[in-house]
Structures are given as C-alpha cells and as structure tokens.
Amino acid sequence: MDKSFNISIFYIYLMSIEVSNLVKTFGKVVALEDISFKISSPGCYGILGPNGAGKTTLFKIMSTLIKPTNGSVRINDYDVFKDREKALKNTAFLVGTPEPYDYLTVKEFIEFAAKLRGKKVDVKSLKEELDLPDLRSRCGVLSKGQKRRVYLAALLAQDPQILVLDEPTDGLDPIEIYVIKNIIKKLKKEKIVVFSSHILSEVQELCDYIIIIKRRLLWQGSKEKLMRMFSPKSLRIEFLYPIFIEEIKNLIGDISTNIEQVEDSNRTFIVHYSGNDNDRQKILERLIKLGIRSFTDNTSTLEESYIRLLERFDKVINYD
C-alpha cells in the first residue's frame, strides 16, 4: 500500500475533540450544564447559541484559559488540563480578541508563531492567501481586520490539525470576511475547524455539522438534518386569477399547516406543509382546480431552523 496513504489515515484518525459532561459555574451563574459531544473527523463544526449561551466559556475551557467546575475536554485523546502540552500541540485557538505583538513586524510575528511549534513557514505564500499587509509593517499600526488576518496567519503558520475560531469574522468588513471564509473552506477539507458566529448565513455556508448550546446541549447533528427537522417545507404558489385565501383553505386546510398571502398580491400565497412528499403532491393536485400559474419550493434557511429549534426548547426547558 502507498505509504503516504497510510500516513494520512493515521493523521486523520488522531484528530478528535471529546467534551464530556462539562459543567461551569461562575458563582450562582451556571454557564454550562452537562455538555457532551465528540468530533473526530475533518470538517467545519458550527457552535451556535444565543448571547450568554456559554460558547466562549466552552472555548476558554477547551483552550485551558479557565477550568471547568466539572467534566473534561480531551483533544487528540489527551486531557487538556492533565496533558496540556500534548493535547494542545496541534490545536490553534482564536478566542476573544487576541492581537499580534505591537512591536514585531508582520513577518516576525508569523515566524515567531511558527517557531514556537517548531514549524517552518512560507510567509510570502501566507501573505498571498490571506491578503496580508506589508510584511515589514509593525503589527501595532495595523487596522483591526488586518490584525485579525495576521493573527490567523500566525495560527496557520503553526499548521494545526484543529482550529477553534470564536467569531473570527466579528466586526470585519465584507472583503475581510470573504477572505476568512475562503480560508475556512480550504482548511475544513483536512482539518477540524470549530467555528462560532452569530451570522447564520455564514454558518450555513461553511459548516457541515451543527452543535447548538444554550447552557445545555440542545442539538448536535448534520446541518442538513437540522434544517430538515426544524423547518417545515412550503410552496410558493402563484394563481392565474385573484383568489380568496378561504378558497385555498377549503381545499387544503386539512393538509397545510399554515397559509400566508404574499403582501400586495391576491394571486400569490405561501402554503406551509409537513415536508412529506405525499402532502406536497396532494396540495398541488387539489389547488390545480383554482388555476396555478407557477409554483416553487421555498427553501428554508439555517436561521429559520435555528430560531424554531430554540423556540421549541424554550417551551420545555426552564433555564432559571
């Protein structure tokens, strides 16, 4: 068997993050309550949750910045507190707003980061990839977005297997966001990228797997499954002639979960249904009697599924 193939299997096999029964309290505030999940293959993993849900607390524990009240985090099968050096050797964190050292030049800072991990770095190719500022500039004079890119470049220079990025695009301009998104898309093919952002279109674009926390773990699973389970499907139907909503209700009221009239139109309606293909077919067969001009399947967004999931859990979980 090809030797490089063997090595790459071994490399992938080693990558893992295992969070077990994690609890963190700050006095009376319970930030994390019994969180467990395991990540063990390359991809982009979105950690989502509303403000104060515990995401940063989780990342801080993973990076050993703070200790948990209970539970453990293992990275590449090493406990991050008991075997810190081995656990974090191939892991890079961008948590909070870390900044490169003011008095080092961009090149010096990136080389310094690589040296810390005993790696050689091609700073010029990183400059191209991340559209970095002049390598001779002192980091202290850079803008916020430039500093973020330089810091990210320094993390990449360490060639980690796992990257934990807490809101890496927060406060950046659209071009900078575009650059960082492209880097993540590239990295996730071979590495584990754990990523958090409040911009759910970004998460939808980048992440394959979603973990939602709100103090407790509310969801873990593929993005597709989340969107399938928490977004009822809908059809946008345009009729040939003006229609009263009651006429539609009379025909499909037993199948549709909700019918909305599109603003300023008495011909276009959004018909929500369970997502079942048979129901979709029945809706169209029955409404054809009213004269359909066109119809499209409305695609739902991750944001809609996320909001729906939180609403559902808020009804059953008492967070007080």
- Which residues form the interface with ligand ATP (CB under 6 A)? 26, 29, 31, 49, 51-57
Closest CB to ligand ATP among residues 196, 256: 196
Tokens of 19: 């969070």
Closest CB to ligand ATP among residues 288, 317: 317
- d(CA 162, CA 184) in angstroms, rounded, equals 12
CB of 169 to ligand ATP, least distance (A): 14
First-to-final CA distance of the chain = 58
CB of 224 to ligand ATP, least distance (A): 24
Closest CB to ligand ATP among residues 16, 57: 57
Phi and psi, residue 279, nearest 5°: -65, -40
Closest CB to ligand ATP among residues 17, 58: 58
CB of 199 to ligand ATP, least distance (A): 12
How many CB atoms neighbour CB 241 within 10 A? 9
Residue with tokens 């048979």: 278
How many CB atoms neighbour CB 274 within 10 A? 13
CB of 145 to ligand ATP, least distance (A): 19
CB of 144 to ligand ATP, least distance (A): 17
Closest CB to ligand ATP among residues 35, 130: 35
CB of 304 to ligand ATP, least distance (A): 20
Q: 222 by DSSP, 3-state: which?
A: strand
Closest CB to ligand ATP among residues 22, 39: 22
CB of 154 to ligand ATP, least distance (A): 23
How many CB atoms neighbour CB 102 within 10 A? 12
CB of 201 to ligand ATP, least distance (A): 17
Q: 237 by DSSP, 3-state: which?
A: strand
Closest CB to ligand ATP among residues 52, 291: 52
- Per the CB < 8 A criterion, the answer to whether 233 and 297 are in contact is yes
Closest CB to ligand ATP among residues 144, 286: 144
Closest CB to ligand ATP among residues 53, 180: 53
- d(CA 256, CA 247) in angstroms, rounded, equals 13
CB of 194 to ligand ATP, least distance (A): 13
73 Cβ neighbours under 8 A, 6+ residues apart:
17, 18, 19, 20, 22, 61, 62, 79, 80, 81
Burial of 298 (0-12, 13-18, 19+ CB in 10 A): middle
Inter-CA distances, 116 with 12, 90, 109, 180, 275, Å = 23, 12, 11, 23, 52
| Max Cα-Cα span within the chain | 74
